[in-house]
Amino acid sequence: DTEVTQTPKHLVMGMTNKKSLKCEQHMGHRAMYWYKQKAKKPPELMFVYSYEKLSINESVPSRFSPECPNSSLLNLHLHALQPEDSALYLCASSHISQGANVLTFGAGSRLTVL
């Protein structure tokens, strides 16, 4: 299995809803990431988990709450989001290849906040 699987592919939620995005990889990768990507913009790093511990939080608002239950799973809990949070949310995992930290991305979860 060489994939990062994200669910759901599409999510529409109201500003008062609570929802979660899920990410799974079975490649034994040590680190997992959440990125946010707006239309025609590059991915922006949100969080990094390394060996199941949160290692980087890019000053993301608390309405986004990451969770890493085990080395294969990564969740992003969403609560009280704003319309401007509508974006493609990308999960990635990484491994070291010839010294380089190589990221494998999932297809993304497209979020629309009404």
Fill in the DSSP letter of residue 29: -
Q: Does residue 41 touch another protein according to CB under 8 A?
A: yes
Which residue, 45 or 80, is less far from another protein as judged by CB? 45
Residues 53-92, one symbol each (x = binds another protein by CB under 8 A, - = not), give --xx-------------------------------x-x-x
Question: 83 in helix, strand or coil?
Answer: helix
Whole-angstrom distance, CA of residue 73 vs CA of residue 71: 6
Output the CA–CA distances (angstroms, integers) from residue 107 to 19, 53, 54, in the order listed: 19, 24, 22
Give me the residues that bind another protein (CB under 8 A), please. Answer: 4, 31, 33, 40-43, 45, 48, 50, 55-56, 88, 90, 92, 94, 97, 99-108, 110
